[in-house]
Structures are given as C-alpha cells and as structure tokens.
Amino acid sequence: MIAITERPTVQVPTKLYTRLSQKEKSKKIMKWIRFRDKKLRGKFEFLKHQDELGLAITLGSAAGMILFAGLYMAGMIPAWTCIVANAVLASILHEVEHDLIHNLYYKDNLKIQNFMFWTVWIFRGNTVSPWYRRMIHTLHHKVSGHKEDIEERLIGNGMKFGLKRFITMMDGNMSFLFQSHILRREAPKFKRSEITRSSWPYLVIYFHLWYNFLFINLFYIGNELLGNPVEIPAWLDTVRHFLNISAVVYTIPNWIRQTSIQIVSSNMHYYGDVKGLHDQTQVLDRWFLFPLHLFCFNFGSTHGIHHFVVNQPFYLRQAVAPFVHPAMKRYGIRFNDFGSIFRANRLGEKETLAAA
C-alpha cells in the first residue's frame, strides 16, 4: 500500500521521466488515483456508506427498468425512449456487478451480496453467471494481455481485424463458437462445461427471446415484400407481439449495452506483447465514442484506472478520471490508439504473435 501524505506531483523533468521503469510509472499513477480518491471520500460524507450506496443503485436501476417498461407498455412513452433508458440503466447494473466481483459491497454479508448478484443477472440476461464471471475476471487481472485471459479473448481481444472479429464483438454465441476450441488449447482454466452451466437459466432465456424476435420479424418482413404468399396464423401474431414487447423492454437494450462494452473493452485492452500492468490498457475518450460510452458507462475512458486500483467503486472511478488522466498521459499510458484494432491489439506496429 502506498502511503498518501501529500498531493503527488506530476511535474517530472523529461529526462527523469524517461529513466523511470514501467513499474515506477505504474506506482506514480496509483498514487495519483489514491490521492484523489482519498480527497473525495474525505469531502463527501455519504461516500462512507459504500455498501448502502451499492444496494441503492442496484435497486434503483432495476426499478427504473421496470418503470420504463411499464410506461412503454401503457403507451405513455415511445419504444426508443424505453430502449435507451433501459440500456443505460442496465449499463449501471453491469458496473455494480463488476464492483461486486471485487467484493466492494457487503463482503461480510453474502446473503445481501448474492441477492445483488441475482438482481444484476436477471436484469442483464445476456451474460453468464456473475459467479462464473468473478472467476474469469479475477483471472483477467492476473493475465491481462495474454493467451490465458478468457474474459477478453471471448469478446475478440487479440483477434485479427475482419468480419470474424466484428461478429465476435456483436454476438456472444458466435464468439463462443469461434473461440472455444482455441481457448481450450491455450487457456487451461477454460472449460466449456463451466460456461454452459453458467448460462442457465437467464442467458438461455435471453437468447431464445432474442433469436426468435429476429427470425420471426425477418419472416414477416420477407413475407410482406413477396406479397404475403404465406397466410400467417393468429397464434404467430400473438407470439410476435410478445417478442416485440420483450425486445423493447429487455432484449434490445441489453444487446445494445453488451455490444457497446464489448466493442470498447476488446479494443482498449492490449494483447500479445504486454509485459506488465503499464501495458495492459489504453484510454479511449474521443467525443465520437459518446454513443458507445453512453451504454457502457464511459468504460473506455475509465477502465484503465481500474487496472491500477481495483478496490474503487465505479462512481468514484468516474469522479477521479479528469484528475488522473493527465498523470496517466504523462507516465506513458496511450490515449485513443485506434490503430490497435488493425494490429490485433498489439502494442507494437507488428503482430508479434499469431492472432486467434
């Protein structure tokens, strides 16, 4: 633990900066993060109630999703409003799950913690079990940027640029089909049976709703374009109506949320030639990323901070970002390296390892 007695200084002479090792640079960044975190916690008394804040955010976000779903079904708001609102609220629940994985809420009360886990999973059905995610996310911090990183490789990190990677980032099932045989060979902790078990019941339910919504609506559109050669039974109209409602209130918002974070996360993490903590991530904070960041809670701009200090709730990570980013840039963290996707997320100009 680095002691924080005074405001750290980032006014490092250039020659001295170039002499710092990556480990020393990482320690400097950690010191800046912890300094700002300590200042905020001391200034705002309510931040001391971290457990209660986490629970309130969880229940509030879940209630918000139910509220917007009810307003849509009552005809009081249009579909796009419900989709956008529920996608944003689901992204907040994703951040809560991530904090829970790091034991930031109710670490001494497993009943409440597990209740929160169940809640965030139910309202974000297109993910594996949060208990399984805890294992692969903890592993991610240990082996980030290497072949054993199950979590990031399942969403496309390290893959060559092209259609296969695009599909991997957009669809979890196709990602599993593309990557599972490679991960079985290269990542010892990857077990297909464990992912299958961790998909029940909510991931399975989600994909049944999602694929049926897509296929039935494609059938209706195709049938109409061809002049309605197929007479559609009344029961199928009822099924379609149900699937369309579930799409607006649940499946489309979560697809947008999941796709946004997978695009951002798989491109902000480096892979292959990562030597340590300093090399693991970059910062993505350009203005045109706002549509993606809206639905993944500004992940590309702030997740790199988490890699340096993991025991910080998501709202504080957002709060310290403007203060910490200049220090991260000073100590060599890359910003907006969009070319990394064309290098299969390599730090260097060349793909030093064969991409998956």
In a domain, 148, yes or no: yes
Q: Is the predicted pLDDT of residue 39 greater than 80, yes or no?
A: yes
Average pLDDT in the 105-128 region?
A: 97
In a domain, 12, yes or no: no
Average pLDDT in the 335-343 region?
A: 97
In a domain, 287, yes or no: yes
Give the residue among 160, 156, 162 at the shortest CA–CA distance from 354.
160
- Write out pLDDT tens, residues 259-299: 999 999 999 999 999 999 999 999 999 999 999 999 999 99
Name the residue type at position 155.
I
Burial (CB count within 10 angstroms: exposed 0-12, middle 13-18, buried 19+), residue 3: exposed
Residue 29 has a pLDDT of 97
In a domain, 115, yes or no: yes
At 19, is the pLDDT very low, low, confident or very high (cuts 50, 70, 90)? confident
Residue 135 has a pLDDT of 97
CA 197 to chain centre: 21
Q: Which two tokens stand for residue 261?
A: 């974070």
Residue 7 has a pLDDT of 59
Residue 18 has a pLDDT of 65
Give phi and psi for 355, each to the nearest 5: -75, 150
**Rounded CA gap, 328 and 334, in Å?**
8
- Write out pLDDT tens, residues 181-211: 999 999 999 999 999 999 999 999 999 999 9
Average pLDDT in the 150-161 region?
A: 96
In a domain, 356, yes or no: no
Cβ neighbours around 303 below 10 Å, total: 24
Residue 6 has a pLDDT of 53
- Write out pLDDT tens, residues 80-98: 999 999 999 999 999 999 9
CA atoms within 13 A on the CB side of 159: 23
Residue 2 has a pLDDT of 41
Which DSSP string do the residues of 272-289 spell out, in sequence order? SS--SGGGSB-B---GGG
In a domain, 228, yes or no: yes
Q: Is the predicted pLDDT of residue 212 greater than 90, yes or no?
A: yes
Q: Which two tokens stand for residue 80?
A: 């796009």
Helix (H, G, I), strand (E, B) or coil at 117: helix
**Rounded CA gap, 267 and 317, in Å?**
20
**Cβ 135 vs Cβ 142: under 8 Å:** no
Q: Is the predicted pLDDT of residue 154 greater than 60, yes or no?
A: yes
In a domain, 209, yes or no: yes
Q: Is the predicted pLDDT of residue 244 greater than 90, yes or no?
A: yes
Contacts (Cβ under 8 Å, ≥6 apart) of 173:
207
Q: Is the predicted pLDDT of residue 17 greater than 80, yes or no?
A: no
Helix (H, G, I), strand (E, B) or coil at 269: strand
Q: Is the predicted pLDDT of residue 233 greater than 50, yes or no?
A: yes
**Rounded CA gap, 159 and 154, in Å?**
10
Percentage of the chain surpassing pLDDT 70?
93
Beta bridge mates, 283: 335
- How many domains, in total, are found in the chain? 1
Q: Which two tokens stand for residue 13?
A: 């002479």
Domain that holds residue 53: 20-343
Average pLDDT in the 162-175 region?
A: 94
CA atoms within 13 A on the CB side of 260: 24
Percentage of the chain surpassing pLDDT 90?
91
Q: What region, left, alpha or beta, does residue 105 occupy, with left being phi > 0 and alpha being psi -120 to 50 degrees?
A: beta
**Rounded CA gap, 130 and 101, in Å?**
8
**Cβ 299 vs Cβ 265: under 8 Å:** yes
CA atoms within 13 A on the CB side of 140: 26
Residue 198 has a pLDDT of 96
Residue found by looking up tokens 């609102």 in the block: 85
Burial 317-355 (b: 16+ CB within 10 A, else e): bebbbeebbebbebbbbbeebeebbebbbbbeeebeeeb
**Rounded CA gap, 295 and 223, in Å?**
34
**Rounded CA gap, 142 and 52, in Å?**
29
In a domain, 353, yes or no: no
Q: What letter does residue 153 receive in the DSSP assignment?
A: H
**Cβ 243 vs Cβ 212: under 8 Å:** yes
